[in-house]
C-alpha cells in the first residue's frame, strides 16, 4: 500500500510540472532558442533582439541560460565581428564544464574569439578545448576551430603548429559551408606542396622562382591598378555623378591619394596575414584616422542614411571602395580574413543596391 501511494504521488508531481505555467514557459523558451539557431547566421541582429528579450525566463534554468549565452555571443560575433564582454560566455563554459556536446564546443569557440584580439595564448587554449569538446559528426565546427587555432599559432610565431592546424582544417571543412576559410586552407596547402616538391639542394633556386612569381604578380597588380585608375579618372572627367554620396567618395579618394597612408597601403597590399602581424611599423590607428579625415563627408552621408550599420562596417565600406585587399582590411579592423567576405555579403542585404554597387563594384 505504501509503494502504491509513493507511485501515485510521483506521477502527480510529474503531471503538475508539465502542466504548470512555469513548465510551459520553460518549454516555450527552449523552443524559441531552437528556432533562433536556424536563422542566427542570416539574421544575427534579429536574433540579438529576441534573445535579449528572454533574459528573465532563460535565467530560471541554468541549462537554458547557458544555451542563450552561447547563442547571444554567437549572434554578436556574426553581427559585429567582435565580442564586447566575456561574462556571458564564461558562464556558459563553466556550466558545460568540459562536456562533450556541440553547445560546449561552441561556448569554448566563442570564448576563443573574445580572446583572439586580446591574448593569443588564451585564445589558442579555448580553441583547442572547442576541438576536444566537439562530438563526432560535427566536422564543420571542428574545422573552423582548427582554422582559428592555426591563426593563433601563426600569430605567436609557431609556424609548424599553424601549418598542421590549417591542414587539419582543410580536411574537415566543407567547401559549401565556409567557402572563404576553405579556400584559404586550399591556398596554404598548394603553397606547402609546391615547397615540399623542391629538393633541399635547390632551395636557392626555389626562392628565386618564388620571388620571380611574386614580382610578376606584383607587376600585373600594378598594371591593373594603373589601368583601373586611369579608367576611373577618365570616366570622372567626362561625366560627374549627380549622386552626392558618389561625389563625396570621389573627392575623398582624390584627397586620400595625396597622403602618406595611401602609399603605405599600396606597399602592404600583397602581404599575407602572418606577414602583416609581423610588421611593427604599421600604425592601424593612423590609417583609420586618415581615411576618416579624407572621407569625412561620405562617411556621414552613409551613417545618416544607414543608421543600423556599425562603425566597423562603415569602415569596411570605405576599405572596399579603396580596393584594399581582405587581408589588409582584416588587419586594420582587428579581424581575420575569413570573416571579411561574410561581412561583405551581409552588407549587401543592408545597403540599397545602388549604394552597394558604388562601394563594392
- Coil, strand or helix: which one is 136? coil
Long-range contacts: 76-79, Cβ < 8 Å, 24+?
76/44, 76/48, 77/110, 77/113, 78/40, 78/41, 78/44, 78/342, 79/44, 79/45, 79/48, 79/310
What are the residues whose beta carbons fall under 8 Å from the beta carbon of 210, sequence distance 6 or more?
A: none
pTM above 0.85, yes or no: no
**Domain range annotation of the chain:** 1-118, 240-360
Exposed/middle/buried for residue 332 (C-beta within 10 Å: 0-12, 13-18, 19+):
buried
Q: How many helices (H) and strands (E) does the chain have?
A: 21, 0
What are the residues whose beta carbons fall under 8 Å from the beta carbon of 286, sequence distance 6 or more?
A: 261
Alpha-helix residue ranges (DSSP H) falling in 97-138:
102-116, 120-133
Per-residue pLDDT of 130-185, as tens digits, reads 899 988 888 888 888 888 888 888 888 888 888 888 888 888 876 555 555 666 66
As a whole number of angstroms, the distance between CA 107 and CA 129 comes to: 10
Per-residue pLDDT of 265-289, as tens digits, reads 888 888 888 888 888 888 888 888 9
Instruction: Determine the distance from the C-alpha atom of residue 173 to the mean position of all C-alpha atoms in its chain, rounded to a whole number.
Output: 16
C-alpha cell at 2: 505504501
Query: Band of the pLDDT at 26, cuts 50, 70, 90?
Result: low
Per-residue pLDDT of 68-86, as tens digits, reads 777 778 888 887 777 888 8
Torsion of CA 73, 76, 81, 85, to 10 degrees: -60
Amino acid at each position: 500500500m505504501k509503494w502504491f501511494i509513493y507511485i501515485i504521488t510521483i506521477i502527480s508531481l510529474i503531471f503538475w510540472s508539465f502542466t504548470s505555467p512555469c513548465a510551459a514557459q520553460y518549454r516555450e523558451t527552449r523552443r524559441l532558442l531552437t528556432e533562433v539557431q536556424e536563422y542566427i547566421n542570416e539574421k544575427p541582429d534579429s536574433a540579438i533582439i529576441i534573445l535579449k528579450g528572454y533574459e528573465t525566463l532563460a535565467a530560471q534554468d541554468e541549462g537554458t541560460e547557458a544555451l542563450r549565452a552561447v547563442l547571444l555571443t554567437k549572434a554578436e560575433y556574426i553581427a559585429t565581428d567582435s565580442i564586447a564582454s566575456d561574462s556571458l560566455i564564461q558562464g556558459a563554459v563553466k556550466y558545460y564544464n568540459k562536456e562533450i556536446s556541440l553547445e560546449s564546443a561552441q561556448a569554448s569557440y566563442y570564448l576563443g574569439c573574445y580572446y583572439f584580439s586580446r591574448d593569443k595564448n588564451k585564445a589558442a587554449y579555448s580553441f583547442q578545448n572547442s576541438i576536444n569538446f566537439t562530438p563526432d559528426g560535427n566536422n564543420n565546427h571542428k574545422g573552423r576551430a582548427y582554422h582559428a587555432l592555426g591563426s593563433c599559432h601563426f600569430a605567436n610565431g609557431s609556424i609548424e603548429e599553424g601549418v598542421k592546424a590549417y591542414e587539419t582544417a582543410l580536411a574537415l571543412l566543407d567547401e559549401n559551408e565556409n567557402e572563404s576559410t576553405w579556400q584559404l586552407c586550399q591556398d596554404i596547402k598548394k603553397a606547402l606542396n609546391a615547397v615540399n616538391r623542391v629538393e633541399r639542394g635547390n632551395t636557392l633556386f626555389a626562392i628565386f622562382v618564388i620571388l620571380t612569381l611574386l614580382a610578376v604578380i606584383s607587376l600585373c597588380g600594378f598594371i591593373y591598378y594603373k589601368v583601373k585608375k586611369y579608367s576611373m579618372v577618365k570616366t570622372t572627367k567626362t561625366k560627374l555623378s549627380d549622386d552626392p554620396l558618389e561625389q563625396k567618395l570621389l573627392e575623398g579618394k582624390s584627397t586620400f591619394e595625396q597622403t602618406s597612408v595611401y602609399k603605405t597601403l599600396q606597399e602592404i597590399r600583397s602581404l599575407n596575414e602572418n606577414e602583416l602581424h609581423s610588421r611593427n611599423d604599421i600604425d592601424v590607428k593612423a590609417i583609420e584616422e586618415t581615411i576618416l579625415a579624407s572621407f569625412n563627408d561620405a562617411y556621414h552621408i552613409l551613417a545618416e542614411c544607414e543608421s543600423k550599420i556599425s562603425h566597423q562596417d562603415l569602415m569596411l565600406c570605405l576599405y572596399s571602395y579603396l580596393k584594399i585587399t581582405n587581408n589588409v582590411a582584416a588587419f586594420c579592423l582587428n579581424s581575420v580574413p575569413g570573416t571579411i567576405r561574410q561581412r561583405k555579403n551581409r552588407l549587401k542585404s543592408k545597403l540599397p543596391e545602388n549604394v552597394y554597387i558604388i562601394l563594392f563594384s
